[in-house]
Each structure stands twice: as C-alpha cells, then as structure tokens.
Structure 1
C-alpha cells in the first residue's frame, strides 16, 4: 500500500481542523429543540465529520492509491473524492434548505453534483493522460452548469425569503462559488493532470485550505445566527402573519 509523504502534515492539519469544526457545530446545536432548525446543525456536522474521516484515512495512508500514466506513477487520494461525493451534496442541501428550494431544484443540484464528482474521479483514475483531461473537462462542465443553477434558480427562490435569510444565502452562495471554481484549477495545475505545475506537497496544502474554508468556514457562517435559521424554516404564510 502506498504511504503518504511530506504532504501528510497538511492531511493531519485537515483532519484536526475538521474534527474541531465538528465538535463546534455539535456544541452549537446541542440546545436546539426546533426540528427544522436542528436539520441545519445535523447536516453541517455530518459534512465536517465525513471530511474528518476522509482526512484521517489519507493521513494514515489508507485513502491513497497509485495510478500509472505514461510510465509515470501518480499518487491519487481517492478518499478525497469519496469525501466530496458525500459532503458537496450536503453543502448544496444546506443552501437549498436556506432558500426553501423545491424538490426538483434540489434533485437537479444534487444530481449535477454527483455527476461532477464521479467524472472527476474517473479523470483521476484514468491511465491515459489525454483521457484524464477529457474527463476533467466533462467534470468542469458539470460544475459550470451547477453554478448556473445556483446563480439562477436557487437564488430566485432565496430572494423570496426574509431579507436576513436572503442575505445569508448570498454570502454562502458567493463563498461556495468562489471556492468551488478553484478546485478544477488546482487539479489541472497539480499532479493529477500530469502537468505538475503544482507539486503534490503544495497541491495537498491548497486542497486542504479549500476544504476547510468550504466546509468549516461555510458552517461557521451558516450556524452563527439561530434567529436567521428559525426564520428560514418558517412557512412564508406564517412570516406574513407575524407582527412587524
């Protein structure tokens, strides 16, 4: 079994960061009794808990495999893709719950997301260099379509909510877009594309920083105000009846 090299430092930092994030989110949500508010804390805690397991597996060498491309052996952290396959749909679910999105919108976003991660994994495991770039293009195309739905349909639904809710949605949406577009850029510049402009050590560091920002940072911003979450989960009719 291949073993992690010097980049394991970043993997351990990622594991510790995700663990601390999980503990913080569980503690924040411990006294929440409203079931619809609890959903945000549960979903967000499972995001970082899953990421913690992924980083721990990569740091200990379990989440790592090797792929030979053109006579060159590449270290591929498959656990990273397993993490993304679970956590990115949950991140989108948090956004969708905040926007009170309908089922079709949620299904479309999650379907596009799973397709994006799955094709990204194919890109990482394919043994022909040119095909790796083709699958990266397919995965990146799915990301662009997903972001189109985030900016369009989901934002339209979020704008129907209370001002405090829509403001939080805009903040989280922009954070998500800003970070997610960096992932395929890091991939194409790093070792997995075989271009290797970014060495594995720094590629691992950048992915770790992006993951902590996209998961722990996202969660801190989302869960910092219970009053906003309570407003987000109230039916619109109930809000309209509430006194000013």
Structure 2
C-alpha cells in the first residue's frame, strides 16, 4: 500500500504549499486558500485511514468506502473553489447554483457508492448510469450557467475560469472510467492497479488542480489584472 502513503505525502506537501501562499496571498481572497488547504487535509486524513488498513469492506471485491467519504467533501470543495473563481470580481456568490452543483455531486457519489455495494449486475450498472448522468449534469452546470456568470468578469479571470473548468472536467471524467474498467465494472484492471491510478488521478485532481487555479489567480494579481480586496 505504498501508493496510499505516497498520496498522504502529496496531500501534506499540497497543504503546506497552500499555507505558504495563504501567508502571502498576493491579492487573492484568503477564503480561496482556506478551501484549497481543507481539500488535502481532509483527503490526507482518510487516505491515512486506508493506508493503515481501514476504510474498506471486503466482499466480491474490496470497496473503499473511505474514498467516498473523502470525495463527498473534497469534490464539493473543488466546486466551491471553481465557483469562487467564476465570481471573483462579482458582487454575489450565486448560492442557488452552488447548492445545485454540490447537491448533484453528492447524488453522483452516492450512486457510485451504492453501485459498488450492489451485487446484482443490472442494478449496479443502473446506479452507475445514474451517477454518470449526475456527472453530466454537474458538467452542464459548469459549462452553462456558471460559465455565463464567469463571462461577466474581466477577460483574465474568465480565461482562468475556463482553464480551471476544462482541467476539472477532464480529470473528473477519469473517475467513472476507472470505476468501469476496474473490479466494480468489467474487471479489465485489477484492484491494485485501479487503486494506484485513483491515487495519481486524485493527486492531480486535488492538489494539482488547486495549484493551477490559485497559481493563475496569483499571476493575474502580479500583473495587476486581479481586482484587489480580500473577502472574508
């Protein structure tokens, strides 16, 4: 399980980096750093549980329920971070849209978890299909109404949003693909391989994505293109 400890190390490094950036925010609201810090801290704690042998149930195939506990919080926080980028220069945070994003995300993960636990093949794929549909709804919200909101910002912020949204969309498509190819689906890949790929994907999706998002915002501030002023 060395890859799980590798993940914990990556989350620790990410949290320390974001703490350092938080001390020198360069005009980026501190709330964005706090969200970025919370993601690797929460995720690292649950992967520590898995590295120590917990957070899983064994049946026809091992189900790492701790992953779903991790994803439910961290994926929601990633959507919060993306929404903050989309509304950085605007007076409102559009809580209704954010609630729709987070709620659909939770429904997607719950569907995947129930599918993992279901022994009946048809019921499993039905739940997997429902979760995939929820993912498509999340992507539609990101590229529909949230993108329209982001477009009302200066060009630099809008382009930053588009880059962050594109990266998150591509990375998140990898999760149902791994689920389908792994022991929960057609079993083309073994449990150990899927676990390792989940680790790599999750490192990039959480710490890597936050580095890109915050890094772009910090660069805009350095060039004087980011509206100044911290938000609580």
Q: TM-score, normalised by structure 2?
A: 0.89
After TM superposition, the structure 1 = structure 2 runs for residues 31-110 of structure 1, keeping only pairs within 5 Å, are 31-32=24-25, 37-67=29-59, 73-100=60-87, 101-110=93-102
Are the counterparts in 2 of residues 98 and 233 from structure 1 also a CA contact under 8 Å?
Answer: no
Q: Compute the displacement of 1:84 (Å).
A: 0.5
After TM superposition, the structure 1 = structure 2 runs for residues 1-244 of structure 1, keeping only pairs within 5 Å, are 8-32=1-25, 37-67=29-59, 73-100=60-87, 101-193=93-185, 195-224=186-215, 225-226=217-218, 228=220, 231=226
Residue-by-residue CA offset, 1:117-149 (whole Å, 9 max, x unaligned): 111111111232321111111101100111011
Q: Choose between structure 1 and 2: higher strand proportion.
A: 1
Q: Compute the displacement of 1:44 (Å).
A: 0.7
Q: Compute the displacement of 1:31 (Å).
A: 3.4
Change (3 A) 1:76 1:33: same
Q: TM-score, normalised by structure 1?
A: 0.85
Which structure's relative contact order is higher, taking Cα pairs within 8 Å and 6+ residues apart?
2
- Please identify the structure whose Cα radius of gyration is greater: 1
- Which runs of 5 or more structure 1 residues have no equivalent in the other structure? 1-7, 68-72, 236-244
How much is the aligned-residue C-alpha RMSD, in angstroms?
Answer: 2.0
- Which runs of 5 or more structure 2 residues have no equivalent in the other structure? 88-92
